């Protein structure tokens, strides 16, 4: 079958769909290390994993509204300054299963682990675009360019057998501070097949759907990508919209993700012994907004205590071109005392004082994206 050449995968991944392969690690894996190991990083695909086996002949085509279209080989990309950016990648469908409990939604059922934090190594897209004559900090050009589309090597049924596609604005693409990468390394190792070998886009602070894997071409265009995943998916609709009255063109493609957190050191429901229990999890916000604080409540949200937070810059990979960690999650921890059945709630606040919504009902949408409601786990006394 077209799925007969999939790469080997870690046995502890929870497989939500086999073909295409969609899997997430156990919650506990996310709080065991600040940087998520590659084999435990969630995998989100819309088709078979393509095989790119001739690295010498592999190239990325730069085309569209540019003076001199050209092909870039891996050696050309590697000859540009290399940056290591620690960035959290999150699928817009993270925590969808909990949203579907309110009312049915369409999409792969994810628990809280369709997210991971990695050190991505590669060239900045802003430097690559300069090679074809588009200067840094360009919002539009006299050829009418305003968007940059990424087209993959893979094939998916949503595109009727065509490649996966997405786009970002030209101003984000040419802004060196946006840290958009063409990445060939993940956590200091060559990018593997599951995560986009030999080259993928990483758009920090933006839903994972825009970080196109197995890059085939970069298309400089006037309007945003007309691909399925920009126009007919990954949009946030109000709770009143259903499959009969949906009008896809009435909403913009989702880009930045909102403030998010989840408790990962315990399952829901978790049996615990009376006494001290360590509550650990992750918190992250999109758009480069850092996390201001994480609050924990044991009484349904009446009273809160602040958790402690850690953020370790990807020290072992830092080079002279390293950047800050505004794109990366914080891990939080609070020790609580449990003497009865207790619901533990986490909510995060970002640097713009955005707060996670209390209830999933208020953000429910038919595609089940962006469930960022307060995260709750139930602790029961037992052995
Ligand atoms: N790129 C291609 N070519 N094909 C895909 O199916 N899935 C996207 C994005 N890039 C996808 C893709 C989605 S929805 C997400 S969330 C991320 O890749 C997942 O990246 P990962 O598998 O490396 O975790
Ligand atoms: Mo995704």
Give the whole-angstrom CA distance, residue 190 versus residue 195: 10
Helix, coil or strand: residue 317: helix
* 227 C-alpha to ligand 1 centroid (Å): 14
Atom of ligand 1 nearest to the CA of 207: 16
Distance between alpha carbon 363 and the CA centroid of its chain, in Å? 19
Ligand nearest to the CA of 368: 2
Q: Whose alpha carbon is nearest atom 12 of ligand 1?
A: 212
pLDDT in tens, 26-45: 999 999 999 999 999 999 99
Ligand nearest to the CA of 48: 1
Q: Whose alpha carbon is nearest atom 20 of ligand 1?
A: 44
Region 328-344: mean pLDDT is 97
The fraction of the chain above a pLDDT of 70, given in percent, is 97
Atom of ligand 1 nearest to the CA of 153: 3
Helix, coil or strand: residue 176: helix
Band (pLDDT 50/70/90 cuts) for residue 316 is very low
Region 224-233: mean pLDDT is 98
Q: What is this structure's pTM?
A: 0.96
Q: What value does the mean pLDDT of the chain take? A: 95
Structure tokens at 162: 């065509």
Ligand nearest to the CA of 166: 1
pLDDT in tens, 150-196: 999 999 999 999 999 999 999 999 999 999 999 999 999 999 999 99
pLDDT value of residue 277: 98
What ipTM does this complex have?
Answer: 1.00
Ligand nearest to the CA of 113: 1
Ligand nearest to the CA of 20: 1
Among 271, 272, 264, 117, smallest CA distance to 204 is for: 117
pLDDT in tens, 97-140: 999 999 999 999 999 999 999 999 999 999 999 999 999 999 99
- Relative to beta strand 308-310, strand 330-338 is antiparallel
pLDDT value of residue 320: 43
Contact (CB, 8 A) for 141 and 175: no
Q: Whose alpha carbon is nearest atom 8 of ligand 1?
A: 209
Band (pLDDT 50/70/90 cuts) for residue 285 is very high
Higher confidence at residue 325 or residue 265? 265
Give the whole-angstrom CA distance, residue 133 versus residue 332: 44
pLDDT value of residue 49: 98
pLDDT value of residue 325: 78
pLDDT value of residue 315: 47
pLDDT value of residue 8: 97
Q: Which residues line ligand 1 (CB under 6 A)?
A: 41-46, 89, 91, 152, 154, 164, 195, 208-209, 211-214
Distance between alpha carbon 203 and the CA centroid of its chain, in Å? 9
* 353 C-alpha to ligand 1 centroid (Å): 29
* 90 C-alpha to ligand 1 centroid (Å): 10
pLDDT value of residue 313: 60
- Relative to beta strand 165-169, strand 308-310 is unpaired
All residues at 6 or more sequence positions from 104 whose CB lies less than 8 Å from its CB, including other chains: none
pLDDT over 80 (residue 294): yes
pLDDT value of residue 322: 40
Burial of residue 154 (CB within 10 Å: 0-12, 13-18, 19+) is buried
Helix, coil or strand: residue 335: strand
Long-range contacts of 134-141 (CB under 8 A, 24+ apart): 134/66, 134/170, 134/174, 134/220, 135/174, 136/174, 136/175, 136/176, 137/171, 137/174, 137/175, 138/170, 138/171, 138/174, 139/169, 139/170, 139/171, 140/170, 141/65, 141/170
pLDDT value of residue 53: 86
Band (pLDDT 50/70/90 cuts) for residue 333 is very high
pLDDT value of residue 312: 79
Which residues does residue 352 pair with via DSSP β-bridges, in sequence order?
Answer: none
* 366 C-alpha to ligand 1 centroid (Å): 21
* 91 C-alpha to ligand 2 centroid (Å): 4
Phi, psi (degrees; rounded to nearest 5) at 134: -105, 115
Q: Whose alpha carbon is nearest atom 9 of ligand 1?
A: 209
Atom of ligand 1 nearest to the CA of 42: 24
* 67 C-alpha to ligand 1 centroid (Å): 30
Among 221, 180, 219, 222, smallest CA distance to 202 is for: 180
* 203 C-alpha to ligand 2 centroid (Å): 13
Q: Whose alpha carbon is nearest atom 23 of ligand 1?
A: 195
Atom of ligand 1 nearest to the CA of 20: 6
DSSP state of 68: S
* 216 C-alpha to ligand 1 centroid (Å): 14
């Amino acid at each position: 079958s077209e799925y007969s050449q999939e790469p080997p995968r870690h046995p502890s991944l929870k497989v939500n769909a086999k073909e295409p392969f969609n899997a997430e690690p156990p919650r506990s894996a996310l709080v065991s290390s600040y940087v998520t190991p590659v084999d435990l990083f969630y995998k989100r695909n819309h088709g078979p994993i393509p095989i790119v086996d001739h690295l010498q002949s592999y190239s990325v085509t730069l085309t569209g509204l540019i003076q001199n279209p050209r092909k870039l080989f891996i050696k050309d990309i590697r000859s540009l300054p290399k940056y290591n950016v620690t960035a959290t990648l999150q699928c817009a469908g993270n925590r969808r299963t909990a949203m579907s409990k309110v009312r049915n939604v369409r999409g792969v059922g994810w628990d809280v682990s369709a997210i991971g934090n990695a050190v991505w190594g590669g060239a900045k897209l802003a430097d690559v675009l300069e090679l074809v004559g588009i200067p840094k900090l360009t919002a539009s050009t006299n050829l009418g360019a305003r968007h940059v589309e990424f087209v993959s090597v893979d094939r998916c049924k949503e595109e009727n057998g065509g490649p996966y596609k997405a786009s970002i604005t030209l101003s984000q693409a040419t802004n060196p501070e946006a840290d958009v990468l063409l990445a060939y390394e993940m956590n200091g190792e060559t990018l593997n097949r599951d995560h986009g070998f030999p080259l993928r886009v990483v758009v920090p602070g933006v839903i994972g759907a825009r970080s196109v894997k197995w890059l085939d071409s970069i298309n400089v265009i006037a309007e945003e990508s007309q691909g399925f995943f920009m126009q007919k998916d990954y949009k946030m609709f109000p709770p009143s919209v259903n499959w009969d009255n949906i009008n896809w063109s009435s909403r913009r493609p989702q880009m930045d993700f909102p403030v998010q957190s989840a408790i990962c050191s315990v399952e829901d429901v978790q049996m615990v012994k009376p006494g001290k229990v360590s509550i650990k999890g992750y918190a992250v916000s999109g758009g480069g907004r850092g996390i201001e604080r994480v609050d924990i409540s044991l009484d349904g949200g009446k009273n809160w205590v602040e958790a402690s937070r850690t953020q370790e810059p990807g020290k072992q990979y830092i080079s002279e071109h390293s950047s800050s960690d505004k794109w990366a999650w914080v891990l939080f921890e609070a020790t609580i005392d449990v003497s009865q059945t207790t619901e533990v709630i986490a909510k995060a606040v970002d640097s713009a004082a955005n707060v996670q919504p209390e209830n999933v009902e208020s953000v429910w949408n038919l595609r089940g994206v962006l469930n960022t409601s307060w995260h709750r786990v139930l602790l029961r006394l037992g052995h």
